[in-house]
Amino acid sequence: MRYYAVLKEDSICAEIRGVHEEIELHNYISLDNEDISILGKRYNNGEWEEVELQDSIPKSTEDEILQAEMLLNQQMILSKQTEIDMTLAELLLNQQGVVR
């Protein structure tokens, strides 16, 4: 079995993959063995280097954060509206004499 480090766009090892055939892709780095200690490290000129956590996590922009908050609020509103709709439906059914 051959082992490869699979690199993300920023040359950081995201996965160790074992395969039976040789792979020749720019983001696959051949390994001598299944060395999981390189996960999360950057491949730079044939060397594996430590990466600070903030380097590997993309930063969210203020607009992205605001959009996420708006989507969360919309989801909460929809959830509450569904509860209200269910209660109203139950009341209408009770007024019509329908028993569930």
**pLDDT tens figures, 68-100:** 899 999 999 988 999 999 999 999 998 988 766
What is the residue whose two structure tokens read 């590997």? 56
Tell whether pTM > 0.75: no
- Does residue 92 share a domain with residue 68? yes
Say how many CA atoms lie within 13 Å of 17 toward its Cβ. Answer: 17
Residue 78 lies in a domain: yes
Determine the structural domain holding residue 81 and report its residue range.
Answer: 60-99
Give the pLDDT confidence of 27-55 residue by residue, as tens digits: 999 999 999 999 999 999 999 999 876 55
Number of domains in the chain: 2
Residue 54 lies in a domain: no
Structure tokens that stand for 99 in this block: 């028993």
In angstroms, rounded to a whole number, what is the distance separating the alpha carbons of residues 23 and 12?
18
Residue 39 lies in a domain: yes
- Does residue 37 share a domain with residue 9? yes
- Does residue 12 share a domain with residue 38? yes
- Does residue 66 share a domain with residue 31? no
Residue 53 lies in a domain: no
